[in-house]
Structures are given as C-alpha cells and as structure tokens.
Amino acid sequence: MNEVIQNNIKFEFFYDVYFSKDIFHPENSDLINIISKIDSKEINTVSIFIDQGVIENHLDLVDKILYYFKMHRAKLKLLGSPLSVPGGEVCKTNVSVLEGIYQKLHDDRADRHTFVLAIGGGAMLDTVGYAAATTHRGIRLLRIPTTVLAQNDAGIGVKAGVNRFGIKNFIGSFIIPCAVVNDALFLSTLSDRDKKSGMAEAVKAALIRDDVFFEWLESNVEDLVCFKEDAVRYMIKRCAELHLLQITTGGDPFETGSNRPLDFGHWAAHKLETMSEYELRHGEAVAIGMAIDTRYSLDTRRITRIDYERIISLMMKLDFKLEHQAMKQRNESGVLVLLDGIDEFREHLGGESTITVLDSIGSGVEINDISINMMEQSISSLLHEVQ
C-alpha cells in the first residue's frame, strides 16, 4: 500500500414523531406546520400514497385530502392524484406494486425536495419507504401510520424493506423519515385482529426494556382488549418512545453489528410468517415468537416460573394464540423447520448467530450460544402448555 485517503463522515439526523387526530380536517394545521418546519421554502411539493385498506374504510379521505391541499395551495402543491396501494403483506411481495409506486414518482416528477406522504399500515409504509429511499437516491419520506403496529413500531423507525425469494425484507434500505405523524383517527376502523396484533410489539418493548411498562400493561389489559382510547394512546406512545430510545441512544441505529436488540421473538416470528404464507399477521407471529423465547429463557434458568407465567398470561389475556401448526412441521430429517429461522435471522445481518432472551421482565439480553436442542424442547413444552 503506497497511499491512503482517510475519510470520516459524521452525520446528525433529526426527526420528530407527532401525535394528532384528524390531520386532514380543514381546521387542523398540524401537517402544514410540520412540513413548513422541515422546509420553510414558499411552496413544498407533495406526492401521496394511501393504503387501499385505509381508503376502503375512510371513504371521504381522498376528497378530504384534495380539499386540504386546495385550502393550503399557497404553501403546498399536490403532485398528481393520491395513489391507492394494496395494503398488507401482498404489497411487499408483489413486485408490480413497487413498480407502480416508482411509476407515480416518475410521473409526478418528484425530486429530492418532494415530500412523499405515505399513509398506511406497516407493510405499505415499508414498500413506499423503500421506493422513496431508492428514487433519486432518496426522497423525503413523511409517514402517517394507520395501524397500531405501524404507530408504535413499523412506521416510526429507520428501516424499509420488501420480500423476495420467500424471505422477509430481503430487499431493503435504511431510511430516516423527515417526520412521522400518528393520527389516532385512523385506528377506529381497524379490524379487531389488527387492533390486537400491534399490541405484541408493546409487550415486546416492555419485556426487553421496561418492567414498569409491563406492569402497566398487566393492570390495563382489560381496557386494551376493548380498545379504550386513553389506554391505547398511552400504550402506543410508550412503545414508540422505547423503540426510538434504542434507535437514538443504542449506538447502532443502522444495525452494523450482529444483534438486533429490538427484535425479541422475531427470529421465530419471521419464519412463522413465511411458513404460514403470511396468513399470520406480523404481531401475531411476534407473540408466538416471544412465547418461544420466553420459554427458552425459563428452560435455560434465566427467568423464574412466576415471570414466565405472568408473560404468557398477559399475552393470553390480550387474546394472542401462542401456537400454530407450523411450529410442528418437520423436514425429511425430522428436524423442526421453524428452527431454520435462527440461521435465516443471522444471514440477514451476518456475524454471529444472536438472539435476544430475557434475564427478567424488563431486561432483554443478546446471546450467541443458542442450544438448538433446548430450543426444540422449549417449543415442544410451550405447545404442550398452551394447546
């Protein structure tokens, strides 16, 4: 080596997660204020994408948005018409959906100063986010998550990904949104299944980071099950806070190491989602994945039987089914197919096989010495107890 040019690039990123209600109401000025705070130029251009499931349940939404932009035309310019994007996992799996998003960004002549407004569930936000990250090497993304899971987890972080080769998030990118607006109005139309599914991520955040939040979830479980607004609002906000704390202070926002500290229960969850051909919702799969890793934490004598029972009991009270037939599926050699999830989880990041287990309620730890035999036993014991 004769010469070297050393480079050291330092960045600081800022983005805020706002909580509002009915942001496209003509008298609600939150959105225009947020956009103007990010970019004070006279007129900002906006390209809008909406989850089809949201459009079907909020029949006046498109007209409301068009009226909103008409009212604020002195400061906001809407590019083209809002594009309806299929919601759910299909949009991450079907290449033509991504193509349609690129097409609109092209037709809109969106540039790096344009705000891409993505309104929808986690899957749709992932897909639009990935398109925004890769168009012109990155267009500004303003997310408006519309499910519990998207408001407390998927929509507030710095990742976007789509599925290929039967692997979740095989293609993806890190993208820092310019802002996130959690609008409580959207949650009212969620199916019971999706109201509940997102609560799994709150249980996860509590289990690995915050025992007081776990106790709060235990005490408020009845209000959460019937989706009482105050309880739901606090659950989403605290979960989002814990998630953001990890991203901003955890020291590895772009996951360059071997661990994914926020992904407790996720090695099994991702595998179960693909094995069930996405019949399982992400949150439902996370609940099962957490039950497995909680059982493993008990079987490896990290947590007490009492804590194990508290955790399983909370998830059952939240009405999560903690078993699925895919947990019993074996390959030709008689090995549980689900266990492949551990290696696939590692392949996503590289480095050592790492999963998160519990040392106590509120304290998640990453481990590398995973006993496959013990994990198989833990899955079997769990099935025995919850079936």
Ligand X SMILES: NC(=O)c1ccc[n+]([C@@H]2O[C@H](COP(=O)([O-])OP(=O)(O)OC[C@H]3O[C@@H](n4cnc5c(N)ncnc54)[C@H](O)[C@@H]3O)[C@@H](O)[C@H]2O)c1
Sketch the per residue contact string, 38 through 57, with ligand X: x for CB under 6 A, - otherwise.
Answer: -------------xxxx--x
Least Cβ distance, residue 63 to ligand X (angstroms) = 17
- One-character DSSP codes across 265-293: THHHHHHHHHHTTT-S-HHHHHHHHHHHH
Least Cβ distance, residue 12 to ligand X (angstroms) = 21
- Interface with ligand X (CB under 6 A), residue from 68, 69, 88, 382: 88
Q: Is 121 in the site for ligand X (CB under 6 A)?
A: yes
- Interface with ligand X (CB under 6 A), residue from 154, 181, 235, 272: 154
Per the CB < 8 A criterion, the answer to whether 129 and 120 are in contact is no
Could you give the count of Cα atoms lying within 13 Å of 268 in the half-sphere of its Cβ? 32
- Interface with ligand X (CB under 6 A), residue from 117, 149, 178, 287: 149
Burial degree of 227 (CB within 10 A; 0-12, 13-18, 19+): middle
Interface with ligand X: number of residues (CB under 6 A):
34
Least Cβ distance, residue 121 to ligand X (angstroms) = 2
Least Cβ distance, residue 32 to ligand X (angstroms) = 22
Q: Among 256, 244, 32, which Cα is nearest to 156's?
A: 244
Q: Is 289 in the site for ligand X (CB under 6 A)?
A: no
Q: Is 126 in the site for ligand X (CB under 6 A)?
A: yes
Q: Is 341 in the site for ligand X (CB under 6 A)?
A: no
- Interface with ligand X (CB under 6 A), residue from 17, 32, 61, 92: 92
Per the CB < 8 A criterion, the answer to whether 116 and 80 are in contact is no
Q: Which residue has tokens 């991450």?
A: 92
Distance in angstroms (rounded) separating the CA atoms of residues 69 and 44: 11
Residue type, 325: Q
Sketch the per residue contact string, 193 through 232, with ligand X: x for CB under 6 A, - otherwise.
Answer: -x--xx----------------------------------
Q: Which residues contact 81 (CB under 8 A, 6 or more apart)?
A: 62
Distance in angstroms (rounded) separating the CA atoms of residues 225 and 287: 15
Q: Report the interface residues with ligand X, using CB under 6 A.
A: 51-54, 57, 87-89, 92, 120-124, 126, 146-147, 149-150, 153-154, 157, 159-160, 168, 186, 189-190, 194, 197-198, 281-283
